[in-house]
Structure 1
Amino acid sequence: MKSSYDSAPASPRLPPNGDESALAPLVAGVDEAGRGPLAGPLVVAAVILDRQRPIDGLNDSKKLSHARRESLYPLIVERALAHCVVVIEVEEIDRLNIFQATMAGMSRAVRGLSPLANEAWIDGNRLPKDLPCPGRAIVGGDALEPAISAASILAKVSRDRLMIAMETQHPGYGFATHKGYGTPAHLAALERLGPCVEHRRSFAPVKLLLDQGKLF
């Protein structure tokens, strides 16, 4: 008969260098950029940071200057254990709705990590139903958890670059400036030019113009 000592699980063995942090679970931070704009894609990022290669200055991307985000972007890509950026195009946003598109993008971003995460920390108050690992929703997580901050930076910088490139493809709307958000200048251009193929037809201001027959 086995004693209670015999049946107890063995303690995990430390790696050769004795680094206990190597036994810690891999946590992915997940965030998005572009839920609110009237045009352009939604971008979702997932990041697993390397505890051995910390990155100073991580924060909610909205609280950082453009220059600071651009300087942190390559550091995150270089030093993270894993990162994945997923682009959800306008057609899928309109087909699924923005909430479901966001959930789908978050799940894809986590699934795209290599190595895979043991847990995903999601910025916000909702979790995708089909995450490949346990998840935790953290309201304001992009300002609280470095991994989520890193994801918010990758998502924001990636989307901004796409919107700047979009300006050359669809001149006149000011995409490089307002990044697709419903600013007065964007709404004026939308009224003047009508929607282009990058406008989200399920969003009210665009849908209204389409209903009025103002096609691109």
Structure 2
Amino acid sequence: MSNERVLICGVDEAGRGPLAGAVYAAAVILDPQHPIPGLADSKTLSEKKRDMLAIEIKQHALAWTIASCSAEEIDEINILQASLLAMKRAIDQLTIMPTQVLVDGLHCPGIAIPAQGIVKGDSKVQEIAAASILAKTARDHEMVEMHARYPQYDFAKHKGYPTAHHLRLLAEHGACEIHRRSYAPVKKVLGLV
């Protein structure tokens, strides 16, 4: 019997659907000695609850990291590959190497550690739920910062997602440098389709 401690790392991304901004990924190794009540898929939590849980995760996890791929990288390699690259970057930055990586969804990044994709993993696995919260809160905070830089797009409100409001502003102002040029609504505004 091995004495090796099993260290599970949960990984998830945030921001595949938006028309603007980076895609974020987080990797989290939770501490079994410090359970965090309330962990759930970030999409099911209020912004306030996500922000509170993000603080707890950062305080109590054995290790956590957040990484991203820019809009330019998304346009260059596509959103799936950019999501996987952001995940790989997050895993590579961990200060503790896990023995297993559990990823939300079907696809796993190319890493040397055994990895498994779990569909709806953010609602089934605490480590993935924690990663989903960190990725989502980091991305949302970036979009609030982008709002200050590009107030005409109201990024703080829609976080870059293709809402009717965002599409109206995109049509009115054109694309800015953080818009994803490979996405159809942005291509349309740029006259590329």
Correspondence for 1:47: 28
- Match runs of 1:192-211 below 5 Å: 192-211=172-191
Residue 133 of structure 1 corresponds to which residue in structure 2? 113
| Paired residues, number | 193
5 Å matches for 1:9-158? Answer: 11-12=1-2, 23-128=4-109, 130-158=110-138
Larger Cα-atom Rg:
1
Structure 1 residues 102-156: Cα deviation after superposition (integer angstroms, max 9, x where no partner): 111111111111111111000001112x213000100000011000000000000
Deviations 1:12-70 (A, max 9, x none): 46xxxxxxxxx531110000100000001101000000001110000000000111011
Counterparts of 2:81 and 2:168, CA distance in 1:
29
Query: Normalising by structure 2, what TM-score?
Result: 0.97
Scaled by the length of structure 1, the TM-score of the pair is 0.86
What is the rounded CA distance, in whole Å, between the counterparts of 2:16 and 2:2 in structure 1? 42
SS of the equivalent of 1:172 reads helix
| Partner amino acid, structure 1, of 2:54 | Y
State the identity as a percent.
Answer: 47
Q: Distance in 2 between matches of 1:188 and 1:106?
A: 32
Considering Cα pairs closer than 8 Å and 6+ residues apart, tell me whether 1 or 2 has the greater RCO.
2
Instruction: Show structure 1 runs of 5+ residues with no match.
Output: 1-10, 14-22
Distance 1:74 1:205 in 2: 35
